[in-house]
Amino acid sequence: MYHKMLVLLDGSKLAEVVFTYAQELSARLNINLELLHVCSPQEAEQLPMRQAYMEKMAEILQSKAAEIRANIGDKTPADEVKAVGKVIIGYPAEEILKYADENKIDLIMLSTHGRSGTKAWDLGNVANKVIHASRFPVWLVPTELSEEIIYDKLPKRTMVIPLDGSRQAEAIIPHAINIAKQRGADSEIILVQVDNPMKAVFTADQVKQQQADRSEREIYLQSIVKRFGEEGIQARAQMLLGEPAPTIIDFVKNNPAQLIAMATHGHASLSRMIFGSTTENILQLVKKTPIFLVKP
C-alpha cells in the first residue's frame, strides 16, 4: 500500500489544482504528503519566504484532510494524514528525483503544466524528465481537472486501464489493486484493449483468423478481470475498435473516470505506448482526467 506521496508545487495558480486534488485524495487514501518546491540558485535569497509558504500550505492541507476524514466517517487518530512542506535549491527535475530516492517516497504527483507556461511544461522540461527518469509511479494532474474528480463526486470510483496483452503493460495491475483497495468501496476497474484493424480482410481464412484473434484477446481480458475479482475488486473488460490513443480518449469522455492508469511501455500493438505514440498522445489529449504512470 502507499504511505507517502511527494507533491510538487511551484507557487503558480496552475499548481494550486494539484494542491487541492492532493488534499482531497490524501484524506481518502490515508496517505501522508510531502510538499516540495524547488527554487533555482538565482532565487536562493527567497528561500526563507518560500519555506514559510510551503510550511503554511502543509498546515492547511493537514487540517483540511482531517476535516475530510471526519466527514467521511473515519475519525481514528492513528489514521490522521501528516503533511510537511519543504523547499530546496537546485534544478527541479534532478532535485525532485534525488529527494524521492532519499526520502522513501511511494508516489510523485505533479501538474501537467507549470509556472513556465503550457508549452514549456506540457510533457517537456521538468515533467517530461521526471516521467522518463522516475522509478516511482507518477500521478499526473491536468490543470483543467473537473470538480467532480477533485471532490470525489462521480457516481463510481472508476479507473480505466489500457492493456495490450504484454507483460510490460500488466505492470500497472498491482498498483491499480493498491489504489482501488485504498479508495475503498465503489471502486470499479475498466480494462480496455483496442483493436486497430490495419489489414484489409478479403478471404474466409483471414476473417476466421481475425475472429480467433479477437476471441483470444477477450479471453485474456477476462483472465485479468478474474484477477481483480480475486482481490475483491469489481472489474469489467471493454474491447474497442480504432486508433488506440483517440479511441481510448473518446471512451473516457463517454465514460467519465477518476483515473487512467497505465504502464509506460507496452507492446507494438498499442503503438509502443510510452514513450511512443499512444501514451504520448493520451498524455497530450487528456485534459480533465488524471493519469497514473508506472515504469515496468
pLDDT digits (tens, 9 = 90+) for 120-150: 333 447 777 888 889 999 999 987 888 899 9
Q: Which three cell numbers stand for residue 190?
A: 475498466
| pLDDT tier, 275 (very low <50, low <70, confident <90, very high otherwise) | very low
> Could you say which of 3.40.50.620, 3.40.50.10490, 3.40.50.970, 3.40.50.10680 is the CATH number of the domain covering 154-294?
3.40.50.620
**294 phi and psi, to 5 degrees?**
-130, 135
What interhelical angle do 244-254 and 277-285 show, nearest 10? 30
- Contact in structure between 144 and 288 (CB atoms under 8 Å): yes
**120 phi and psi, to 5 degrees?**
-75, -30
Interstrand relation of 138-141 and 291-294 (parallel, antiparallel or unpaired): antiparallel
- Contact in structure between 293 and 265 (CB atoms under 8 Å): no
Q: What percent of the chain has pLDDT over 90?
A: 42
| pLDDT tier, 176 (very low <50, low <70, confident <90, very high otherwise) | very high
d(CA 40, CA 10): 11
The gap from C-alpha 152 to its chain's centroid, in whole angstroms, comes to 15
What predicted TM-score, i.e. pTM, was given to this entire model? 0.86
| pLDDT tier, 285 (very low <50, low <70, confident <90, very high otherwise) | low
Coil, strand or helix at 11: coil
Q: Among 27-36, 119-128, 255-264, 281-290, which is the least confidently predicted range? A: 119-128
d(CA 103, CA 101): 6
Question: Looking at residue 278, what is its pLDDT?
Answer: 64
State the average pLDDT over residues 206-210.
77
| pLDDT tier, 272 (very low <50, low <70, confident <90, very high otherwise) | very low
The gap from C-alpha 140 to its chain's centroid, in whole angstroms, comes to 5
Segments of the chain assigned E as strands: 4-8, 32-39, 83-89, 107-111, 138-141, 157-162, 187-195, 234-241, 259-263, 291-294
Give residue 221's identity as a one-letter amino acid code: L
Query: What share of residues in the chain are helix, strand, coil (percent, to 5)?
Result: 50, 20, 30
Look-up of cell digits 467532480: 148
The gap from C-alpha 71 to its chain's centroid, in whole angstroms, comes to 25
Q: Where are the alpha helices (DSSP H) in 203-265?
A: 204-230, 244-254
CATH class for the region spanning 4-147? alpha beta
Return the domain boundaries, the chain.
4-147, 154-294
